[in-house]
């Protein structure tokens, strides 16, 4: 098979908070109070591949491997997230080189992702730098909202803040039709999880699709997805992307409905 040029990477931004950064396999260290560690168990669906790359904190491409966000969400212990199972499925189905740009940081409310804020500006900078040597940004995967469930006001203004973020990132990257696949949360820091979920599921913008995480298993902390759930979520995100935004696969799914 002819080797795919690495400069033709299909690039995906991974952003949001801890469930995108990945806490699958992160466990409490019972010998050291408040310490955590990653169990280093990598499912087959999340294994490295020569055609999957990640954009490091130092702004260079390297072979992707779990945990994808170790040098990005660096103040927390990172484990398995949805990124690698997503990338492996997209790579396998489309026969492409996949580039992942991890940007998620745990415990971050959506206001910290507003234009002018450090996290937002860093995400945009990393995305722009990622295409300097070729490749094309194909989508933004977003999983965030748990930190907006504690305050009723935050929950009520979530939809407007998310819609503004989508508008801003598309404008700042010069990609007005950039596909956004976001996740509707199933957990949170407070009692307004349902309000944030409803806001996420209500968003109706072109090329924006919401994947519902309802039904996926949570760890004992009732906040973070298990490793197995992260694998499933990655596949859900990939299926939605392939069905709605990959030209050849859009035709395939349309034929299935004929």
Q: Which residues are catalytic?
A: 18, 221, 224
The vertex-81 CA angle with 42 and 13, nearest 5°, equals 130
How many Å apart are CA 175 and CA 250, to the nearest integer? 20
Give the three-class secondary structure for 169: helix
| Residue keyed to tokens 């010998």 | 31
DSSP string over 2-54: PPPPGGG-EEEEEEESHHHH--BTEEE-TTSTT-EEE-----GGG---TTEEE
With 0-12 / 13-18 / 19 or more C-beta atoms within 10 angstroms meaning exposed / middle / buried, residue 192 is buried
Helices (DSSP H) in the chain: which residue ranges? 18-21, 83-94, 118-130, 152-156, 158-173, 193-202, 227-245, 247-256
Token digits for 52?
């999957």
């Amino acid at each position: 098979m002819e080797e795919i040029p690495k400069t033709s990477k299909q690039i995906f931004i991974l952003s949001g908070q801890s469930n995108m950064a990945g806490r699958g396999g992160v466990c409490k260290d019972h010998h050291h109070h408040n310490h955590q560690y990653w169990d280093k168990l990598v499912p087959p669906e999340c294994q490295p591949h020569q055609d999957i790359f990640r954009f490091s904190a130092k702004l260079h491409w390297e072979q992707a491997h779990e945990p994808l966000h170790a040098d990005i969400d660096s103040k927390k212990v990172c484990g398995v997230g949805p990124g690698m199972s997503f990338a492996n499925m997209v790579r396998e189905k489309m026969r492409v080189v996949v580039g992942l740009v991890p940007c998620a940081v745990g415990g971050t409310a959506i206001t910290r992702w507003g234009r002018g804020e450090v996290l937002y500006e860093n995400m945009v900078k990393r995305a722009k730098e990622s295409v300097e040597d070729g490749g094309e940004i194909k989508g933004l995967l977003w999983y965030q909202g748990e930190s907006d469930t504690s305050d009723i006001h935050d929950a009520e203004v979530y939809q407007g803040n998310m819609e503004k973020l989508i508008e801003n990132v598309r404008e700042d990257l010069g990609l007005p039709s950039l596909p956004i696949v976001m996740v509707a949360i199933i957990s949170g820091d407070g009692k307004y999880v349902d309000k944030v979920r409803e806001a996420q599921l209500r968003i109706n913008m072109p090329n924006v699709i919401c994947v519902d995480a309802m039904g996926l298993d949570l760890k004992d902390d009732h906040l973070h997805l298990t490793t197995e759930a992260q694998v499933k979520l990655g596949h859900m995100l990939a299926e939605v992307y392939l069905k709605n935004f990959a030209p050849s696969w859009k035709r395939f799914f349309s034929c299935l409905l004929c």
